[in-house]
Amino acid sequence: MLEVKSRSGPARTVRWSDGQVRFDTPIVALSDPRSQGTDICELMLASVNGVTEVSHKASGKNVFSIPETKFPPLSSLRWTGDMLPIAGTNAFSVSADVRMPEAEAIKGKEFAVLGNAFELRRDARAFAKAVVDLRRAVGNKRLIYAPGMMDVSNLALLVYMGVDVMDDSLVRYLASIGKVSTTEGPVDSDEAPWLFHDDASKDALAASEMNIWKEMQLVKHMIKKDSLRGLVETRVHSSPWMVAVLRIFDEEHYGFQEERFPVIGPKFYANAKQSLFRPDVLRYRKRILERYSKPDHKRILLLLPCSAKKPYYTSRSHQIFRRVLQSVTNFDVVHEVIVTSPLGVVPRELELFYPAAQYDIPVTGHWDREEVAMVQELVKHIAGQGYDKIICHLGDEGEIVKQVIDCIDTSNGSPGSRDSLNALRAVLSEECSKQPRVPIGVDRQRTLAAVSRFQFGPEAGVLTEGCRVSGSYPYARIQLTPQSQMGMLTPERGMISLTVEGAERIYGKGLGWVKIGDFDIEGNLFAKGVSESDPNIRVGDEVAVVRSGKVVGVGVAMMFGSEMTDSDRGEAVRMRHYVKIKK
């Protein structure tokens, strides 16, 4: 039986149990007898009479076994990517040998094996595709075992891509030729005495096993923190193959990753080139292009630089910009948009959303071609939404956007200088005076409508229709009447949290839904009670719980959509509000 404990993108920690036998993944099965007396692994690997057996170390119970004839070396075979069912089980193997006999079976229906995985180290694209194809074929209720390809340097990458079980056969081979497996790749033991606790023995395998254990503890910790992607971005630079795998995984399998990335998350560093293509970062940019439309009363676009402190409104520089703006009459017609990498643009009303409030980047003043192209695309998209005037207060970075839009530059190279701020105030005062006055209530209502469209979809702006928005930024309540609230925006979540009434209003207009059977909700909703779910749901999304076509509750998704219907255990929706149907 499987129970997911934590997730970080496609990676996860899982508790596997069969009676009294249990272990947690990700895990590495060790085969050398010396590891029997250590506590660094719960699984042991052995080859017995042509069968690979993986057993639970403490109890000696067999967990699963694989006939070795199922996975011949690929030296004389060509990879085809075919999915082959293993007769008599629910397990699958990805193998190059499409004529392999189906009479032999893998013992253990909750395991799927990536056949000939070692040979896929020759082809980064084939490996990425094989992992994705296998996971999609076997679903989320099975553990994926990739034999023969793990070393310490690629452990984090394999786990991030969704591999649950690995073994030490490659590490043992490296040790046999005098190399210690490290996070930076294999190191010759004769040239690295500092790798050994015992200078006398210089046991390369023992040192490698300890490195496996340390890396695995770090990987599990990063999954628990939902920060594994950052670790992987640092690890892949150990080899060109790993850089290629991650790049291909991002570019060609974005959909597979994005489905598994939550819409909320912790702070992270966008330090590497790969950070531009993190699925959560790329999803944000896509949603700006596909979902976002400005509040229609905003007639003047003001482009501002990002700040080191997030959310932006808490930074000293942006507090100064806000004071300048608010000193101008009719400033509510001005639309503040922050220009930044790796997100491109962040409209002020979206600054609380993940990942806008969580990212941090090294500031060098230099932008590479991909960053420039990305920023220009998004700035041009925003600028094309119907403004009467565009003001650029970006400093030196303004040269990038002035290549694609016409604007008034007020920064004079230094946005925070007194002269620049005075120039900004003067231009704002002149341009705002030309626009019709906008009541503060209209500004708040239309701004929250833009937030709703971005969060739920283009039709979800109806959430605020006829409503009054109250509260002091960054808090806001959407109220139809003093007693009827549609939802609330808070900086803690960074997005709109709905009531049942709010969910009813936008059900069918982009809000994710989870259907249940004929029972009343008494607390949180577990996967066992889900009959159908919206495949567009992501972890952290607001979702409506629907019974017999009626919204009976609203909460936060704790699984992505397809996982809810594919799982037997685990919390699917953490309920905020629910009602009982009167019989």
Domains of the chain: 2-259 (3.20.20.105), 292-432 (3.40.50.10630), 455-578 (2.30.130.10)
Residue with tokens 């799927």: 112
Distance CA 60, CA 26 (A): 20
Cross-strand partners of 340: 344
Q: What is the percent of the chain where pLDDT is above 90? A: 67
- By DSSP bridging, strand 408-409 and strand 512-516 are unpaired
Average pLDDT over residues 342-358: 97
pLDDT tens digits for 382-414? 999 999 999 999 988 899 999 999 999 999 878
Q: What does the pLDDT read at residue 193? A: 73
Give the position of tokens 């004529």.
99
Residue 424 has pLDDT above 70, yes or no: yes
Question: CB-based contacts of 467: which residues, under 8 Å, 6+ apart?
Answer: 445, 478, 479, 480, 486
Cis geometry, peptide bond prior to residue 535 (ω within 30 degrees of 0) = no
CA distances 230 to 262, 530, 547, Å, are: 15, 33, 40
Task: Give just the sign of the alpha carbon dihedral 382, 384, 386, 392.
Answer: positive
Coil, helix or strand at residue 211 = helix
pLDDT at position 33 is: 52
Q: What's the token pair of residue 220?
A: 């599990």
- Residue with more model confidence, 35 or 109: 109
How many percent of the chain have pLDDT more than 70? 89
Q: Letter for the amino acid at 421? A: L
Q: Is the pTM of this model over 0.85?
A: yes
Look up residue 504 and give its two tokens: 């009813």
User: What pLDDT band is residue 199 in, cutting at 50, 70 and 90?
Assistant: low
- Taking only the tens place, the pLDDT of each residue in 153-174 is 999 999 999 999 998 889 988 9
- Of the candidates 568, 110, 538, 154, the residue with the CA atom closest to the CA atom of residue 354: 538
For the segment 135-160, the average pLDDT, to the nearest whole number, is 92
Pick the range with the lowest mean pLDDT from 11-15, 102-106, 277-281, 337-341. Answer: 102-106
Distance CA 42, CA 54 (A): 10
Instruction: Tell me the C-alpha distance between 302 and 332, whole Å.
Output: 12
Please determine, for residue 533, whether its predicted confidence score (pLDDT) is greater than 70. yes
Tens digit of pLDDT for each residue in 57-79? 878 888 877 766 554 433 223 33
- Cα 121 to Cα 244: distance, rounded to the nearest angstrom: 11
> Measuring CA to CA, which residue among 420, 425, 470 is closest to residue 445?
470
- pLDDT tens for residues 312-328? 999 999 999 999 999 99
Residue 329 CA: distances (Å) to CA of 92, 299, 389, 409, 420: 67, 14, 16, 21, 19
CA–CA dist 208, 11 (Å, integer): 23
Q: Tell me, what's the pLDDT at 198?
A: 60
User: What is the structure's pLDDT at 91?
Assistant: 41
Contact 285, 344 (CB under 8 A): yes
3-state DSSP of 65-115: EEEHHHCCCHHHCCCCCCEEECCCCCCEEECCCCCCCCCCCCECCCEEEEC
Tokens of 49: 């009479």
How many other CB atoms are there within 10 angstroms of residue 101's CB atom? 10
List the structure tokens of 38. 């250590």
pLDDT at 510: 95
**Mean pLDDT value across residues 573-583:** 84
List phi, psi (to 5°) of 21.
Answer: -90, 130
Contact partners, residue 492, CB within 8 Å, separation at least 6: none
Return d(Cα 70, Cα 113) in angstroms, integer.
10
At 225, give phi and psi (nearest 5°): -85, -5
- At 71, which amino acid appears? F
Per-residue model confidence (pLDDT) at position 407: 96
SS3 116: coil
**Residue found by looking up tokens 């590490």 in the block:** 171
pLDDT value at residue 80: 38
The one-character DSSP state at 577 is: E
Q: Which of 204, 216, 155, 161 is nearest to 23 (CA)?
A: 216
Partner residues linked to 496 by β-bridges: 489
And the tokens for 96?
Answer: 């190059």
SS3 call for 250:
helix
Beta strand pairing status for 389-392 and 408-409?
parallel
Report which of 209, 212, 205, 204 is spatially closest to residue 158, judged by C-alpha positions.
Answer: 212
Give the pLDDT band of residue 2 (cuts 50, 70, 90): confident
Q: Please, how many CA atoms are within 13 Å of residue 358, restricted to the half-sphere of its CB?
A: 19
- What are residue 215's phi and psi, to 5 degrees? -65, -40
Which pLDDT belongs to residue 201?
A: 63
pLDDT for position 83 = 38
